[in-house]
Amino acid sequence: MAKVWEDLNANGIQDAGERGIAGATVTLFTDRNGDGQISANEVSEVGVTDATGEYIFTRNSGTLGQMTFTLPPGYDAASPRHVGANKSVDSDGPTTDLFRFGQSDPIASGFFKFAKLGDRVWNDTNADGIQDPGETGRAGVTVELYQATVDGEPGALVGTQTTDANGNYLFTQLTPGDYIVKFVAPDGTYISPPYVGIDNSINSDAEETSGRTAVYTLTSGQEELAVDMGLYVTTSVKDEVSLCEDRSATFNVLTNDIGMR
């Protein structure tokens, strides 16, 4: 039996919730001339997976075989092979090792789609952390994309982009996994308060001091296009004043609490 599945997290393991890919082509080669080897002209059968991502080849026990899995339509890459110790849930494709019918572990091949991540740096003129109508994009801002470590810290640098004339950026062809964005605020600008409001598509996602975002876990084919940063300049006097007032009010409350103990 051959199985083809969508490896949502691209880890090479058939995890719970990952489903078969229907309509995938699997080619079986067998040792037709009996020389103990498999050659390219020994195609024995071409199958197309069913709704559960499976196709069954039936041969006599002991028949020497090999399978190749064709990249399914709409998919971008094959999973890593032979990950982990559990041979019943790993990936053997897109070209398997030689095997013998009746003596083989289950044969499967995982595939995934690339993910995307973007999308905008904008001039947050009123410094409220929201992309309001009329607030323009900011060109020329450096945006770095990192793999996230297991501790949720930036690891290897995946790529760097510069926002275009509309303030937009977009990372494509990303293998599913955990990522962190770091925006580099230009000199003379300040980063807007993040996570304002309930509409993620129009708020800012970068920490005000570091320009870093939280970890984004991207799965097969995901398009995460709401990773934004607002920038403002010191000349927005009105907002500077209100920020100072808020801070001094908080400070006074704390002082009173301490004084009462």
Pick from 19, 35, 51, 97: which binds Ca ion (CB under 5 A)? Answer: 35
Q: Is 148 in the site for Ca ion (CB under 5 A)?
A: no
- Residue 117 in contact with Ca ion, rule: CB under 5 A: no
Nearer to Ca ion, 57 or 248 (CB): 57
Instruction: Tell me how far apart the alpha carbons of residues 63 and 219 are, in angstroms, rounded to a whole number.
Output: 38
Contacts of 85 (CB under 8 A, 6+ apart): none
Q: Which is nearer to Ca ion, 35 or 50 (CB)?
A: 35
Nearest approach, Cβ of 69 to Ca ion (angstroms)?
16
Question: Structure tokens of 102?
Answer: 């009746």
Of the pair 150, 260, the CB lying nearest Ca ion is at 150
- Show Cβ contacts of residue 215 under 8 Å, excluding neighbours closer than 6 positions: 148, 152, 178, 179, 180
As a whole number of Å, the CA-based R_g of the chain is 27
Taking CB under 5 A as the criterion, the residue among 6, 31, 119, 239 binding Ca ion is 31
Contacts of 107 (CB under 8 A, 6+ apart): 1, 2, 3, 67, 92, 93, 96, 99
Kindly write out the interface string for residues 209-228 of this chain, putting x where it contacts Ca ion by CB under 5 A and - elsewhere: -----------------x-x
Q: How far apart are CA 142 and CA 130, in angstroms?
A: 20
Q: Closer to Ca ion by CB, 19 or 247: give it.
A: 19
Give contact residues for Ca ion (rule: CB under 5 A).
Answer: 7, 9, 11, 13, 15, 31, 33, 35, 37, 124, 126, 128, 130, 132, 200, 203, 205, 226, 228
